[in-house]
Amino acid sequence: MITFVSQYPTPENERDGMMQRVKAIDALVSDSNRTYLDLSFKRNWLASESTPNANTRVLHLNVFRHAALINKVIKDSDLIYVHSVYNALKVYSYYKSHGEKIVTDMHGIVPEELCYMGRKSLSAMYGKIEQRVVNYSDTLITVTTAMSRHFNRKYECDGLENKMLHVPIIDFSIEKPEVAGIYTGSRSESDMNIIYAGGCQKWQNVELMLDITKKIVTSRVGFFRFHYFVPPAAITYFEKLIGNRGLCSVIELCSVSRSELIEKYGKMSLGFVLRDDIDINRVAMPTKMVEYMSYGVVPIVRSPHIGDMQFLGYQYVDIEELGGSELSLDRLNEKRIVNLNVIEGLRKDSADAQDLLRKKLGCC
């Protein structure tokens, strides 16, 4: 039996980048019996169980109150797949005793992310957790080769490189471009729509993005239209920032389902991905960037150094280009074609990695 330490992906949480990866990995074992341990330190005081499908059970448990049941599930499992160092904290004690059957999907570099957000004490704590994860996991799953190199440099453990498996963070359910109907001729000069799909985390550079939006609206009146699709909980935050800049009339702001968002992509030409040039972005593969490129949306970037994308040869628009007259539909179409080829290469890499991961999970 495979046990995942994570929440189970649902329509309510699947807009979150982490949960999209959880969903993608789950799709690899869709025919296998599996258990999800949805563990919490603060909630789930009453144990409960749900069965989203015939092969899956989800146990909603409290780490402290239901320790005996968690222990039994861990011991009875043939393989334990832990999604992120955050969830590793909840099964911290099992790494030393059951590490030979633990696969940890790193998702990101948590200590560095917390340090970037100014949470130094938490960063130090999760640094120790990450150290244990690296030392005792049988296999570490990374989302980019840049992330693999990061861990090799950081820890310099004997044999570490051999126990890392790079599985690109791509939603395996995204259709190939030709199936999804992404044709370069499907957009017109009147469709210079710019999208932002995401939350209000610090690394999204939301205030910078809105300042750029205001600058463009002023310098290129009527040329671009802006569409911000954010989680329901972030609407109020965005409304305040947009109102403070006098942009209420020029930005469409709303929350949409994932299926609705995918429909929107077909009308968009450009998408904001304003990541800083720091380690957490150099090793990441933002889910929204992959989605943008898969559906023909050209990324607008502050720094091009995002995950493996520059190595793969992706095309982008620098924020300084937005105010220039040289940005034309023909030029965007050229970039779009290159990016669709990059995504297709990423698919092939991902398919090979999927096969290796399926074997690891016993799902050949």
Q: How far apart are CA 329 and CA 327, in angstroms?
A: 7
Instruction: Say what percent of the chain tops pLDDT 90.
Output: 73
Tokens 């949805």 — which residue?
Answer: 38
Instruction: Say what percent of the chain tops pLDDT 70.
Output: 92
Across the range 103-132, mean pLDDT stands at 96
| Domain ranges for the chain | 2-167, 177-345
β-pair partners for 49: 59
Stretch among 2-11, 128-137, 218-227, 254-263 having the lowest mean pLDDT: 218-227
Residue 101 binned pLDDT confidence (cut-offs 50, 70, 90): very high
Instruction: Using the predicted structure, report yes or no on whether residue 311 has a pLDDT greater than 80.
Output: yes
Closest CA to 169 of 46, 323, 283: 283
Q: How far apart are CA 95 and CA 88, in angstroms?
A: 8
Instruction: Using the predicted structure, report yes or no on whether residue 206 has a pLDDT greater than 60.
Output: yes
Residue 34 binned pLDDT confidence (cut-offs 50, 70, 90): very high
Tokens 């990995």 — which residue?
Answer: 25
pLDDT value at residue 139: 96
pLDDT value at residue 190: 52
The more confident residue out of 72 and 321 is 72
At the fourth CATH level, the homologous superfamily of domain 2-167 is Glycogen Phosphorylase B; (3.40.50.2000)
- What are the pLDDT digits (tens) for 134-191? 999 999 999 999 999 999 999 988 889 999 999 986 655 555 554 444 444 455 555 6
- What are the pLDDT digits (tens) for 233-279? 999 999 999 999 999 999 999 999 888 999 999 899 999 999 999 99
Whole-model pTM: value is 0.86
For the structural domain made of 177-345, what CATH number should be given? 3.40.50.2000
- φ, ψ of residue 334 in degrees (nearest 5): -60, -45
pLDDT value at residue 185: 45
Across the range 20-49, mean pLDDT stands at 94
CB-CB contact of 104 with 141 (8 Å): yes
- Indicate the average pLDDT of the chain: 90
Q: How far apart are CA 83 and CA 107, in angstroms?
A: 7
CB-CB contact of 32 with 2 (8 Å): yes
Rg (CA), the chain: 21
